[in-house]
Amino acid sequence: MSFDYDLFVIGGGSGGVRAARVAAQEGVKVALAEEDRYGGTCVIRGCVPKKLMVFASEYSGMVEDAQAYGWDIKAGDFSWDAFKGKLHAELDRLEGIYRNILKNNGVESFDQRAKLADAHTVELADGTRKTAKHILIATGGWPTVPEFPGSELAITSNEIFHLDELPESILIVGGGYIASEFAGIMNGLGVKTTQFYRGPQILRGFDEEARGVVAEGMAEAGVNLQVNTNVTEMRQEGGKIRVIDTHGNEHLFDKVMYATGRAPNADSLGLEELGVERGRNGAIVVDAYSQTGVPSVFAVGDVTDRVNLTPVAIREGMAFVETVFKGNPTSPDHDLIPTAIFTQPEMGTVGLSEEEAAAQEPIEVYSTSFKPMQQSFAGRAQKVLMKLVVSKATRKVLGCHIVAPGAGEMIQLAGIAVKMGATKEDFDRTVAVHPTMSEELVTLKTPVRFT
């Protein structure tokens, strides 16, 4: 049977575009459909605009630091309009790059929604049908807001980049990295920021000591962090939103942003009719090679709810091409993925938390917390943390956790060592780069804890 295409990709985010491009470079006939903007969550409404907002928000503390270093500098006001204009121009530029990547590699693009009609047929929103030998679903995820009285008043991370003006006050609900990052951003931009989290500490699942240092730093910077607290009801009151919390307290905010979870974007794609299995949270169930129970249909990225990170979606897309078009069955490696959380203070992590490691074997914990030279000279108090979790039996570094300015940059490099199976003695043999914060990772001599 002949098909219109060898591969039809549904979704123009990082995973889908990478798979389409690499497959096309192999001489494969590829088409891609995207109903929204090219670049997906990461480029359009996630990592890229968020990181630019982090940069913008960090300048607020720099003027005081510069004064402490002897500079005669005066703070001005932050212009949301000026920043927002440049931000959206940059996102438009990046979207253009994504479109050109597809065009320059001979991928045919359809700017409309697509769904599966059968195992080898895609139906576009205008009713056109296209056949393909293989279909790759890379439709990503979408923020969700739980239902409660007044929940429709909440915005999500999708809308935060499009505010007409900066609010004077904001409540951010959630304790994950998106909520915690935006609490730091809004606080840094001069917005009176409150964060509610229903659990006892933010950043659940990360190393306990590290998340404690982040939470402490956020509170010191001015975020009103309230744990063991949730929203029971919201109602509009003039231009503000009245929020009633689980303790019966009432608050007024200009905006309320929910970052309590994301769901795979897999509804209304024709999956159920085809017998493609949906799992926890509605995710598309795939095997180790990103293949669904329907042999011609594959899925990568957040829609599979495995590890919801952009570089992981890209790796999964590459592994899919290796498996299907290069005859080299490749399973994406989800082990020891380094991660940065762009909270303020920033956190970088790779491997097991102290708690996870201690649950599986006897360990040694090496950690140090101190005030970095640049900030302490300027009179700022935020502590940094450098931490290694080490196996007693093998001496391997099982986890590395950093809370510090530039932690994301540091953890990328530490991640190489941990991925290679470096031991504590490998770290010890490495000469320190002085004076730096990261030198502490190779000068940690005595364990602070044994388990």
User: Which residue numbers are catalytic?
Assistant: 434
User: Taken in order 424, 427, 432, 436, is the CA torsion positive or negative?
Assistant: negative
**Rounded to an integer, what distance in angstroms lies between the CA atom of residue 340 and that of residue 311?**
12
SS (H, E, C) the chain: CCCCEEEEEECCCHHHHHHHHHHHHCCCCEEEECCCCCCHHHHHHCHHHHHHHHHHHHHHHHHHHHHHCCCCCCCCCCCHHHHHHHHHHHHHHHHHHHHHHHHHCCCEEECCCEEEEECCEEEECCCCEEEEEEEEECCCEEECCCCCCCHHHCECHHHHCCCCCCCCEEEEECCCHHHHHHHHHHHHCCCEEEEEECCCCCCCCCCHHHHHHHHHHHHHHCCEEEECCCEEEEEEECCEEEEEECCCCEEEECEEEECCCEEECCCCCCHHHHCCCECHHHCECCCCCCECCCCCEEECHHHHCCCCCHHHHHHHHHHHHHHHHCCCCCCCCCCCCCEEECCCCCEEEEECCHHHHHHHCCEEEEEEEECCHHHHHCCCCCCEEEEEEEECCCCEEEEEEEECCCHHHHHHHHHHHHHCCCEHHHHHHCCCCCCCCHHHHHCCCCCCEEC
Please state the separation of Cα 60 from the chain's center in Å: 24
Contact 350, 210 (CB under 8 A): no
Structure tokens, 67: 């004064």
